[in-house]
Amino acid sequence: MSGELSEITVEVQSGLREARRLLWAARGWEQLGGQQAGSPYQPQPHNDRARATFEAGLQVLGDDPALLHHLAVAEHARAWDLELEGSVLAPDAWRRALDIWHRLHGCPAFWQSMRERAAQLQPPVDPAVVDELRAALYGELLGIHVAFVRHYCDQGDVSRARPHVELIRQTQLPPAVHEEMPELLYAAMTGSLGDLMASQEYDQAARTIERYLEFYPDHLRALQTLAEILRDWARVTSAADDWPTVMEIAQRAGTWARELDQHEALEEAPLARLALTRLGATLARRFYRKLSQVFSDAPDTTAWIGDEHLAWADQAVRWAELAHDYDASREYMLLLSASLYLRARCATALGDTSLGLTDYQRHIQLTRRIEQEE
Amino acid sequence: MHSSPWRRGPLSRNPYYYTAFHVLRMPPSVVQRHAVRQHVLQARNLAAAMPQAHRICGELVTESEINEASEILAGGPSRLWEELVAHRPEEYITPGLQRLRERLHSLAPEAPMADDGPPLRLPALLRRWMEHLLSQQVGETTDSELVSASTYRPIPPCGGGT
């Protein structure tokens, strides 16, 4: 008997707990109504209780259109609040909200109700507008995240932008919408590029593209644009007056030129190949000229040459090879030949006779080819 | 002005608090043209006579915001977009919503169940005692607002419970 009573007590306590939870949810739902007697319409877009109620309802009743819509509004409003608070819960909240919008988008009964609503309005709205709205829904939802990405990137806070991009990639959305995302983001994040280039703010312009490439490292147009920016930057930077900047450009170009060089679509992208070729040639010239200047100022290499100079020669050869790989014209053959000659001199002076000899032989071969073609 | 309310204002404003319905203090159920105009007029008068009385999230509602809201709700796609981001009017009742409401607003005839457990077979006396306890829990809430614990298991506050 005592065992039975104990069992009943546990069940009653459990039932009470459950009932309390439901009451808690039901009160929240009322708060969404927003209109108490005699007071203005000031509803809350969300609260935990109401979300719980809708969630519970959906679990039991399936995708009911009204419940889905209430939940979509509540979840999305909550996600926005969490984002503005800088909460770590924001990415998950956005993900949940987008999932609910996705379910609503695929719920014909909801859109039928919107058509009926359109007919009730004064003046009535053409029901076809509802179809346009439905078609535009994903773009508008994604637009929010694109805007947040742009906002955070403009502030230089890339870490807060990243969850928005990852969110879109992971959220259950139609493939066509996923494919739109890189282009939408590119347009949003590079909107200031024209102004930056016009005012010759190359560093900022390059950073804008580099931020984008952090998210989409294989975006061909971005890689091409970055190659063009870095090339323009290198062209206006004097090796004699601002050598550290040339080194910085080369270092930044090195990372992305490799991506572009190995890009699977490069074969069908002549403008991207041209950008890569020109970048390689411009940087090769910068390093070649710097070294040439040093050699002409002090012909006795034993007095000054060091590993740093060999590194510059390496850069000259590497960039000249890149340009030559894509365009074996006389101009780039000459550039490569001259760069090899300088590296041969540096390597020999530093005691690396093997590299010196190899480079010298390649220099001779290229020179002969140039002479033959003439 | 962008059609979608999500992209109309600054990102630092949660648009769900600033719908045209909020700005005009007008429920989405209002569709008649003259009724909309009435709300616009009231909102304008309030903003002019007692600006401090009309705030959203602590910010004063401005005349230009009222004008923009009245344009949005004047009809066309912008009104439909606005309805998309507002909780639907109470008249929009689907069978599912109706069932949920009925469940939430009626006291369960049967006793509550434990989590995933079999239905309880409580003596009548115990059940009455439990209902009494529940009504005390409710406080200002009436009995009709008690809900069936046998069907729904919403997420509890603060992540506790089931």
Tokens of B60: 């004063």
Q: Using a CB-CB distance cutoff of 8 angstroms, which residues of chain A are in contact with residue B26?
A: 41
Q: Residue A56 pLDDT > 80, yes or no?
A: no
| Token digits of residue A262 | 């190995």
Q: Does the distance separating the beta carbons of A29 and B152 come in below 8 Å?
A: no
Q: With an 8 Å Cβ cutoff, are A141 and B6 in contact?
A: yes
Quote the percentage of chain A above a pLDDT of 90. 56
Does the beta-carbon distance from A15 to B21 stay under 8 Å?
no
Residues of B in contact with A17 (CB under 8 A): 161
| Confidence label for A340 from pLDDT (cuts 50, 70 and 90) | very high
pLDDT digits (tens, 9 = 90+) for A150-160: 898 888 787 89
Tell which wins on pLDDT, A368 or B134.
A368
pLDDT of amino acid B97: 63
CA B73 to chain centre: 20
Q: Do A21 and B161 touch (CB under 8 A)?
A: yes
Residue in A49, A60, A62 with CA at minimum distance from that of residue B152: A60
Question: For residue range A273-283, what is the model confidence (pLDDT) as tens digits?
Answer: 999 999 999 99
pLDDT of B149: 34
User: Which amino acid is present at B77?
Assistant: P
Considering A136-140, A214-218, A286-290, B157-161, the range whose residues carry the highest mean pLDDT is: A286-290
Provide the pLDDT for residue A211: 87
**Are the C-beta atoms of A75 and A93 separated by less than 8 Å?**
yes
Measured between beta carbons, the chain A residues lying within 8 angstroms of B76 are: 125, 129
DSSP state letters, A260-310? HHT-TTGGG-HHHHHHHHHHHHHHHHHHHHHHHHHHHH---GGGT--HHHH
**Tens-digit pLDDT profile for residues B60-94:** 999 999 999 999 998 788 999 999 999 876 556 66
What are the start-end ranges of the H helices in A155-269?
158-170, 175-189, 193-198, 202-215, 220-236, 243-261
Q: Does B17 touch chain A (CB under 8 A)?
A: yes
**B37 inside 8 A of chain A by CB:** no
Give mean pLDDT, residues A209-231: 93
pTM of the model: 0.70
Q: What is the model's pLDDT at position A116? A: 92
Share of chain A above pLDDT 70, in %: 88
Tens of pLDDT, residues A347-362: 998 999 999 999 999 9
Look at residue A221 in the predicted model and tell me its pLDDT: 95
Q: How confident is the model at residue A201 (pLDDT cuts 50, 70, 90)?
A: very high
Average pLDDT taken over every residue of chain A: 86
pLDDT for the residue numbered B151:
33
Residue B117's pLDDT is what? 37
A166-189: average pLDDT: 78
For residues B42 and A170, the model is more confident at B42
Which tokens in the block code for residue A144? Answer: 């929010």
Higher confidence at residue A138 or residue B69? B69
Q: What is the pLDDT of residue A2?
A: 59
For residue range A89-136, list pLDDT tens digits in order.
Answer: 999 999 999 999 999 999 999 999 999 999 999 889 999 999 999 998
**How far is it, in rounded angstroms, from Cα A221 to Cα B64?**
41
ipTM of this model?
0.70
The region of weakest confidence among A118-122, A168-172, A228-232 is A168-172
3-class secondary structure, B60 = strand
Checking if the pLDDT of B115 tops 90, the result is: no
